[in-house]
Amino acid sequence: MNKITTSSQLSEDKDQLLPIASGSQRQLSPVSHFQRILSRGYSADYMFTKDAENRNDAPYTTDTLRHDSPSFSRLVSSSQQAEANAECVEALKIATLRLHGWRLCLHNSRVLEFIGSLVSLALAGIITMTTIHDRPIPRVEIPITATRTIYARDPSIDLKKLGETFTITGLIVTGVGVSLGTHVLVAYILPYFKAARVIRYESRDFLLALVQSISLSALFTQVLKNVTGRFRPCFYDMCGWDFDMIWDGKENLCTLQKWEDEGRKSFPSGHSSFAWSTLFLLTLYLLGRSRLVTADRQDHIYLGFVKIVMLTFCFIPTCLAAWISLTRSIDNWHHYSDILAGSLLGAGSAAVTYAYNYGSIFNWDSAGLPLQEYHFQRLKQEDEIVQLVNKFRIASDQTTDADHPI
């Protein structure tokens, strides 16, 4: 009686699982794959073959009658098929109950990660109060004669200081508020109206990713601001420059020390990095939650239109982040290079923290799932496959013995 006990023994025998899906079809989980094979009348032996990659007659990818397929070993009875489905359901229930035990509590404690992120955010706040690189104020030399030169202000930083379209408070409310509000809509409200996934501890992982993205981008942004000390486009107006004095090109004519320091924090744009670290993270979250980049877009013309609309909706937060970034140039607070650097910094922070907390958005099984939950499901599937293959290979052997008595 050929009994499977561990997944390592399977790898030692060089057995391979059949490919989960082919062509443009969606991927099935290994358990769903196995359950579908059993429900179509195949024995457990069908799941294992030496040259799986060379086979194109999987019963779940074609409508070929199962008795026309040369790959299966033998059929199981209808009672065994019903037992297979019942066993799948029971195994999932047992695995779910097991995951709510002490193992789940052990893996659910992410308090230290929250604390570490908040410490990084506090460190970024402390850096804002440190000394800024004091570079000389730029000047334009205009020679009058061979011995006489007058100095003029640099026109690139001599723009008028305008009011901010997005203040610090407005930026935080927009970035954090839109992200949290959308998360509540998708995770808690949407499941009541349509078939949407309910993911355990999703709020914890989304909030952690949001805090990590903000703290990472803020830390690097503040360090770069203090190290570079680049002048804002409205530096002269911001620092209270004494326009009545004749400038010798050396003396600092700023009259507002606080605003002079603020005028030396142009690179990179903090508004841009914050907006992209929150709203681009939200876009990644929506793409993963909707599985848009993993699904087949050739199913139906109408379905393709719906997916395009959903894709547009997913990128609305990114468009909002881009608009917030551009207002910094419109308000004469940042150069375009500052905005570009801040946007890349924020988007990079969002991508890194999303990859740290969530599975790939390009994989059907992992899209939108926190890595911890995804690993739990993988462990469940491996255990279930071993148990189910064990059970139904035994049942198949018993059927063979009954059909061919010695």
Query: Where in the sequence numbering do the catalytic residues fall?
Result: 271, 334
CA neighbor of 2 nearest in space, from 42, 43, 39, 40: 43
How many Å separate Cα 222 from the centre of its chain?
A: 24
CB 384 within 8 A of CB 47: no
CA neighbor of 254 nearest in space, from 270, 232, 269: 232
In Å, how far are 15, 37, 91, 253 from 84, measured between CA atoms?
Answer: 21, 10, 10, 84
Q: Are strands 48-49 and 149-153 parallel, antiparallel or unpaired?
A: unpaired
Q: Are strands 48-49 and 139-143 parallel, antiparallel or unpaired?
A: unpaired
CB 72 within 8 A of CB 40: no
Rounded distance between C-alpha atoms, residue 220 and residue 325, angstroms: 17
Rounded distance between C-alpha atoms, residue 302 and residue 395, angstroms: 45
In Å, how far are 10, 223, 285 from 360, measured between CA atoms?
Answer: 27, 30, 11
CB 303 within 8 A of CB 380: no
3-state secondary structure of 84: helix
What sections of 185-256 are H helices per DSSP?
202-228, 235-238
CB 268 within 8 A of CB 325: no
Helices (runs of H) and strands (runs of E) counted in the chain = 14, 4
3-state secondary structure of 133: coil
In Å, how far are 181, 184, 193, 199 from 189, measured between CA atoms?
Answer: 11, 7, 7, 13
CB 49 within 8 A of CB 55: yes
